[in-house]
């Protein structure tokens, strides 16, 4: 990590961060976590935090809860939170599904899964996040009408995502297939690399019934 990132982690994690322990744990009370009542967006795999910071800055009426395992990314997002005075951002360190299981059902306005690890080798597909059992947990935490928005540059994974999401009886696809790229989703570094390499980007946007 850079010196700036180390400093941000040391000073800011106690205010804006939370550790996600493995195994059973106490439920997370979102109003207390953010210090206000507002719709909550969960950002799974926030990376270096640039996308989360940009979206939270443009959307101050909603709270953004980012979860990431990569310490430099967490530290960088904390630095962005301070630099841009993002009072509506909190950063969780740990496993995303463990975090989701601690959230109350129906408590989220949206879940964003942007460019998750595609685990391209067939023997590793079981590690993919967008799988039926995982989707059921994510969807259960959405409020009625809440949005599950996924994006990937891996064509085979995009098709698998669509099949998995279409099969969930509580999710509705208003686009009937892949969605047009929404203007509110910033271009990530992974997306830039994919576009330079000629890989198409697939957005999938579903709503909970």
Contacts (Cβ under 8 Å, ≥6 apart) of 96 = 44, 45, 67, 129
Average of per-residue pLDDT values in the chain? 96
Q: What pLDDT shows up at residue 21? A: 84
The listed range with the strongest mean pLDDT (35-49, 115-129, 189-203) is: 35-49
pLDDT digits (tens, 9 = 90+) for 63-86: 999 999 999 999 999 999 999 999
Residue 146 has pLDDT above 90, yes or no: yes
Per-residue burial over 57-95, b = 16 or more CB atoms within 10 Å of its CB, e = otherwise: beeeeebbbbbbeeebbbbbbbbbbeeeebebbbbbbbe
Q: What pLDDT shows up at residue 26? A: 84
Strands 108-114, 40-44: pairing is: parallel
Q: What pLDDT shows up at residue 177? A: 95
Q: What pLDDT shows up at residue 188? A: 83
Share of the chain above pLDDT 70, in %: 100
Q: What pLDDT shows up at residue 153? A: 95
Q: What pLDDT shows up at residue 56? A: 98
Residue 24 has pLDDT above 80, yes or no: no
Polymer length of the chain: 209
Q: What pLDDT shows up at residue 89? A: 98
Split into its structural domains, the chain has a count of 1
Annotated binding site for S-adenosyl-L-methionine: 43, 68, 95, 117
Q: Is 19 a catalytic residue?
A: no
User: Could you give the angle at which helices 155-167 and 132-141 cross, rounded to 10 degrees?
Assistant: 60
Annotated binding site for substrate: 121, 153, 188-191
Rounded distance, CA 59 to CA 54, Å? 9
Rounded distance, CA 123 to CA 173, Å? 29
Q: What pLDDT shows up at residue 200? A: 93
pLDDT digits (tens, 9 = 90+) for 173-182: 999 999 999 9
Q: What pLDDT shows up at residue 98? A: 95
Q: Which pTM was predicted?
A: 0.95
Q: What pLDDT shows up at residue 207? A: 98
- Identified catalytic residue from 19, 117, 166, 168: 117
DSSP 153: S
Query: Structural domain of residue 138, as residue ranges?
Result: 3-208
- The answer to whether 93 and 18 are in contact (CB under 8 A) is yes
Annotated binding site: 43, 68, 95, 117, 121, 153, 188-191
Q: Which CATH number characterizes residue 124's domain? A: 3.40.50.150
Residue 23 has pLDDT above 80, yes or no: no
């Amino acid at each position: 990590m850079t010196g700036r990132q180390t400093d941000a982690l040391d000073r800011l994690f106690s205010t804006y961060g939370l550790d996600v322990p493995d195994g059973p744990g106490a439920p997370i009370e979102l109003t207390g976590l953010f210090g206000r009542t507002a719709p909550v967006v969960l950002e799974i795999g926030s990376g270096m935090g640039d996308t989360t910071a940009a979206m939270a800055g443009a959307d101050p009426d909603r709270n953004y809860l980012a979860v990431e395992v990569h310490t430099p990314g967490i530290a960088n997002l904390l630095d962005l939170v301070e630099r841009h005075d993002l009072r509506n951002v909190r950063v969780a360190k740990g496993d995303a599904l463990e975090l989701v299981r601690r959230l109350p059902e129906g408590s989220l306005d949206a879940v964003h899964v942007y460019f998750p690890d595609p685990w391209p080798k067939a023997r590793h597909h079981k590690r993919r996040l967008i799988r039926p059992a995982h989707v059921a947990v994510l969807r259960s935490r959405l409020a009625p009408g809440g949005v599950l928005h996924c994006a990937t540059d891996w064509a085979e994974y995009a098709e698998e995502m669509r099949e998995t999401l279409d099969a969930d009886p509580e999710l509705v696809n208003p686009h009937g297939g892949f969605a047009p790229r929404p203007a509110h989703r910033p271009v990530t570094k992974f997306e830039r690399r994919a576009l330079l390499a000629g890989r198409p980007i697939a957005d999938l946007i579903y709503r909970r019934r």
